[in-house]
Amino acid sequence: MPAIAVKPRVFKNYLLKIGADSYEAHVSSVALTPSSSIQTWKGGTPAAVFTDATTPTWVADLAYAQDWETPNSLSIYLLNNEGATKEVEFSPLGSGPKFTVTVIITPGAIGGAIDEFGTATVSLGVQGKPVYTAGAVTP
C-alpha cells in the first residue's frame, strides 16, 4: 500500500464570495461543517444488529466582524438578505482548491461586550453538500 503524501497548511488567506461580493476581509473563521449520526437497530438475537450512518447535512459556519457603518458589509448583507438562497465560494487557502455551496442566509447577532471588537458567529444552512474544485495555490 503506497504512503500518501500530506501537505498541511496554516490558514492565512481566505477567499469568500457570497454571490458576486467578496467578504474575506470580514471573516476570521469559515468552516463547512457536516453533521450526521450513527443509527443502530437490534433484533431479538445477537446476530441481528445493523448499523448505518445518516446522510450528512451541512452548515457554513462564519465568525465575522460586525460592521454597521459600511454599506454592503457582511453584517448588513446577512440582515438584509434573510431567507434568501445564495451561492458561496470558499477557498481556505485564498486561491487554488475551492468549495462551492448554496446557503440559506441567516442574520447574525447585533451588539456585544463593551471594550471589545463587535464580532458575531452565524451558521448558514447548506442545500446539498459542498462541491470541490481542484486548483493550484498561487503564492
In one-letter notation, the amino acid at residue 135 is G
Q: How many CB atoms lie within 10 A of CB 64?
A: 23
Q: Residue 138: which pLDDT band, with cuts at 50, 70 and 90?
A: confident
- Judged against a pLDDT cut of 90, whether residue 104 lies above it is answered with yes
pLDDT for res 139: 77
SS3 of 74, please? Answer: helix
Domains (ranges, CATH) in the chain? 15-133 (2.40.30)
pLDDT in tens, 22-74: 999 999 999 999 999 999 999 999 999 999 999 999 999 999 999 999 999 99
